[in-house]
Amino acid sequence: MKKRLYILIFIITILCSLTGCPENSENASVKLNETEATDIINEILPMYIEANKILNGYIETENKAVTDESGNVYQKVISDKYKSVDDIKNLLNSVFTAEYIDKKYNKIFESDYPNFKEIEGQLYVAVMSGMLKPLSGNPIEEINNIEKDSFSAVVKFGGGESGPESQSTFYFVNQNNKWLINNIENYEPTN
């Protein structure tokens, strides 16, 4: 009797591995719905905003500037959260795919004048200036191309006192059960 049970279990296991178990194949073809995509956007956008601010030099620093051996000017970062270049890299990896990081931020750490570097074991940021627009009041304009592991969304920035509204299309992908930004296309102001 036990022998027949083992044979039956073996046959079922072989059949499932060859044909795929029904519940797995059904779930594999299910697309996200718009509410799920909105939830993903709302989870990732605050991390994107934080990364974007930091990558543009908006991080607390000492007022004193130092010059490195190449003549580049830096300020020491004052942060409990970001104490090393690896901390900044981890932030990027929590928001963007490796492909996007390679394409967009490939020189931020390794160039003649990297935005971030460690000097005597401390994190420093290059002295830079820029302007960032905040998200608009209702930032999600539309969600498109919803699939199981990807979608795109038009996100609005600015408007009101922060200047003309602009839009960007964000492309989201699910890699290893983690949603990340795979690309961003920026557009000119709409107003």
For position 108, what pLDDT does the model report?
Answer: 87
Q: Is residue 97 part of a domain?
A: yes
Residue 96 DSSP code:
B
CA distances for 45 relative to 4, 85, 149, angstroms: 56, 22, 18
* C-alpha–C-alpha distance, residues 76 and 118, integer Å: 9
- The reply to whether 114 and 151 lie within a common domain is no
**pLDDT for res 175:** 96
81 within domain boundaries: yes
Q: Is residue 47 part of a domain?
A: no
Length of the chain: 191
Residue pLDDT tens, the chain, 191 long? 555 544 445 455 554 554 454 444 444 558 889 999 999 999 999 999 999 999 888 899 999 999 998 899 999 999 999 999 999 999 999 999 999 999 998 888 888 899 999 999 999 999 876 677 777 778 999 999 999 999 999 998 887 776 788 899 999 999 999 999 999 998 765 55
Is the same domain home to 119 and 63? yes
Say yes or no: 138 and 168 in one domain.
yes
> Domain limits at 136?
132-186
Q: Which two tokens stand for residue 22?
A: 């029904």
| 86 CB-side CA count, 13 A | 2
| 137, 159: one domain | yes
Q: Of all helices (H) and strands (E), which one includes residue 169?
A: strand 166-175
| Residues 65, 122 within the same domain | yes
Instruction: State residue 94's pLDDT score.
Output: 96
Helices 85-95, 34-55: crossing angle, 10 deg rounding: 160
Whether residue 10 is contained in a domain is answered as no
Query: How high is the pLDDT of residue 158?
Result: 82
Q: Tokens 């620093």: give the residue.
A: 61
- 138 plus 180 within the same structural domain: yes
Residues 6+ apart with CB under 8 A from 149: 173, 174
In a domain, 105, yes or no: yes
Domain boundary among 79, 111, 126: 126
Q: What is the pLDDT of residue 57?
A: 85
Taking only the tens place, the pLDDT of each residue in 171-184 is 999 999 999 999 99
Please tell me whether residues 122 and 138 are part of one structural domain. Answer: no
